[in-house]
Structure 1
Amino acid sequence: MIAHLPLFHRIAGQPVIVLGTGDIAEARRRLVERAGGEVIGDAAQGIDRGARLAFVAHADEADARADTLRLRHAGILVNTADRPELCDFIVPAILDRAPVLLAIGTGGASAGLAKALRLRLEALLPSSLGRLAEVLAGARAALRARWPDAGDRRRALDAALGQGGALDPLDPASAGRLDGWLAGGPDGTRDAMVEIVLASTDPEDLTLRQARLLGSADCIAHEPRVPAAILDRARADAARVPIAPGETPPLRAGLVIVLRS
């Protein structure tokens, strides 16, 4: 079970309350401004303006609790610096490849760990990643024309965006290959059934290929002893079909993964 539901809030042009002084408060103000929000430094004014988010960064414990409760009673979601027990939401470490954003959170356990992970990922993800997202957005009509069926379209994109694929996100040249791929790339629409026999109930024991297949499958057929931790590695919208041990499910359209415990 995840402790927080990750969400991206659109705050451009919207009032956001930021209370407090010092480095943390200033960092929160910069974060709000970076996302296009309007910083409001007074709680009453922010409430009157209809603010939906607030950051509280008081050093004093009593002040922090008082302002947090006041804002929460007004229906505002609050982040209270250095006091995770008072937070309605957390501030993740952000890796910016706009319009691609990666948010790394630890549930308030360690901001240092989130930062370390962000720095590692910074070295892996090319600056061209945002450009790839932009050309994909601009090619929506062309993608629908090439693959009118949504399942065929998703499978084609999964293949192209996979490691070594024509549009591999870690390849800086991928954005420039989109037109050529659309004109003659593989369609990736073949129906298939792949059986995976689990080595253990630990999702960390999945091979890279198994994890990739789970993440792209249209349907997961699984025996009763397959744990939820494994099933959670599949796409959230993939169909799930319980099967008896040894049973072979009927082939469905798209990619079907059969998980054996």
Structure 2
Amino acid sequence: MIETLPLFHRVAGQPVVVLGEGEAAEAKRRLVERAGGVVVTELDAGIARGARLAFVAHEDAAAAEADVGRARAAGLLVNATDRPALCDFTVPSILDRSPVLVAIGTGGASAGLAKQLRLRLEGLLPPSLGRLAQGLAQARAALRRRFPEAGDRRRALDAALAAGGVLDPLAEASAARVESWLDSPDAPRGGMVAIALRSDDPDDLTLREARLLGTADMVVHAADVPEAVLERARADAVRRLGGAEQAEGAEGLVVVLARAARP
């Protein structure tokens, strides 16, 4: 179970309180400005201007605790540098392929670990990823015309963006293919796939099984299928308890989950 809810918060043009001096406070000011926020260095002024977020970077523990209390009392969400117990939110390590942002957080456990994971991913995600996202955004109206049904659009995108697909996000050339892709294939058909679970651990799913579960429109499952496995499905996928008969008349991709027969 995750302990925090990852969100992307729009701060462009909005006041954000940053308190403190030194490198930690300066780093938070740069972060806010990079996102287009307006840095306010006095708490009362930030409250008066309607700030919703505050960064507290005092080295003195008592000063930090006092300002966190004042900010929370005024209804602000607070991040206190190097003081996880005082934080309402933490700041992830950010991989920027605008408008694609990959945020890596550890819940305050280790900023160094988050940074090293980001650096590894930097080498995997091509610079063209942002252009691919922009191309898909610009093609939204054409995509709706091409595939009027939401399920068809989702399945078409899933197939195109999958590993080896025409719009594979890890392929540098994909950003230039959006227009030609829209002029070519029909949306892939749905179908039904049965997955026999070998254990309660979702990490034991094969890559193919994980991909199918993550793109399914409906998940039909036995009562003893663990929640940890079901969480690997799309959050908006329809869930039904039972066997394959529960999927009769369903549209799109249906995945049926059950435990493998014991030898």
By the TM > 0.5 criterion, same fold?
Answer: yes
Equivalent residue letter for 1:221: V
Equivalent residue letter for 2:102: L
Q: Deviations over 1:94-130 (max 9, x none)?
A: 0000000010000101111101110111010000000
1:25–1:56: 8 Å Cα contact kept in structure 2?
A: yes
The match for 1:171 is 171
The match for 2:80 is 80
Q: Deviations over 1:127-161 (max 9, x none)?
A: 00000000000001110011000000100000000
The match for 1:253 is 251
The match for 2:3 is 3
Instruction: Figure out how many residues of one structure are paired with residues of the other and give that number.
Output: 259
Q: Deviations over 1:22-71 (max 9, x none)?
A: 11111000000000000000011011111000000011110000000000
The match for 1:149 is 149
The match for 2:239 is 240
RMSD (Å) for aligned C-alpha atoms: 1.1
Give distance in 2, aligned partners of 1:187 and 1:50: 47
Identity %: 66
2:240–2:246: 8 Å Cα contact kept in structure 1?
A: no
Equivalent residue letter for 1:155: R
Equivalent residue letter for 1:258: V
2:247–2:254: 8 Å Cα contact kept in structure 1?
A: no
Equivalent residue letter for 2:52: R
The match for 2:226 is 227
The answer on 1:14 being equivalent to 2:9 is no
Report how far residue 191 of structure 1 moved. 2.3
Equivalent residue letter for 1:255: L
Q: Unaligned regions of 5+ residues in structure 2, if any?
A: none
1:193–1:251: 8 Å Cα contact kept in structure 2?
A: no
The match for 2:210 is 211
Aligned partner of residue 151 in structure 1, secondary structure: helix
Equivalent residue letter for 1:85: A
1:221–1:257: 8 Å Cα contact kept in structure 2?
A: yes
Aligned partner of residue 184 in structure 1, secondary structure: coil
Aligned partner of residue 39 in structure 1, secondary structure: strand
Report how far residue 251 of structure 1 moved. 4.5
Q: Unaligned regions of 5+ residues in structure 1, if any?
A: none
The answer on 1:118 being equivalent to 2:118 is yes
Q: TM-score, normalised by structure 2?
A: 0.96
Alignment of 1:79-118 (within 5 A): 79-118=79-118
Aligned partner of residue 54 in structure 1, secondary structure: strand
Q: 1:75 to 1:248 in 2, by over 3 A?
A: closer
Q: TM-score, normalised by structure 1?
A: 0.97
2:218–2:253: 8 Å Cα contact kept in structure 1?
A: yes
Equivalent residue letter for 2:254: V
1:19–1:42: 8 Å Cα contact kept in structure 2?
A: yes
